[in-house]
Amino acid sequence: MSEWLRCIACAREYDALEVRTTCECGGLLAVARSALSVGPALFDQRRASRHPIDQSGVWRFREGVLSADEATIVTHPEGSTRLYERDGVLFKHEGENPTGSFKDRGMTVAMTQAVRVGARAVACASTGNTSASLAAYAAQAGLRAIVFVPAGKIAAGKLAQTLAYGALCLAVRGDFDAAMRLVLDASKEFGIYLVNSINPFRIEGQKTIVWELLQDLDWRAPDWIVVPAGNLGNTSAFGKALVEARDAGWIDRLPRLAAIQARGANPFYRSFTESFASRHRVAAETVASAIRIGDPVSFDRAVAAIRATNGVVEDVSDEEIMTAKRDIDRMGIGCEPASAATLAGLRKLRAAGVINASEQVVCVLTGHILKDPDAVSGNVVEIDPSLDSLASVLGSI
Ligand SMILES: [Zn+2]
- pLDDT digit string (tens) for 109-153? 999 999 999 999 999 998 788 999 999 999 999 999 999 988 887
Could you tell me the distance, in angstroms and rounded to a whole number, from the CA of residue 393 to the centre of ligand 1?
Answer: 66
Q: State the pLDDT at residue 127.
A: 79
CA of 28 to the centre of ligand 1 (A): 7
Whole-Å CA distances, 370 to 85, 112, 129, 341: 21, 27, 12, 17
What is the reported pLDDT for 324?
A: 98
What's the whole-model pTM score? 0.94
- pLDDT band of residue 352 (cuts 50, 70, 90) is very high
Q: Which amino acid is at 121?
A: A
Distance 15 CA to ligand 1 centre (A): 14
pLDDT score for 396: 65
CA of 233 relative to ligand 1 center, distance in Å:
19
pLDDT at 153: 75
Please tell me the distance between residue 37's alpha carbon and the centre of ligand 1 in angstroms: 28
d(CA 32, ligand 1 centre) in Å: 14
CA–CA separation, 92 and 29 (whole Å): 28
How far are the Cα atoms of 84, 177, 226, 269, 347 from residue 357, in angstroms, in the given order? 18, 38, 14, 23, 10
8 alpha carbon to ligand 1 midpoint, in Å? 7
Measured in angstroms, how far is the CA atom of residue 29 from the centroid of ligand 1? 8
CB 346 within 8 A of CB 89: yes
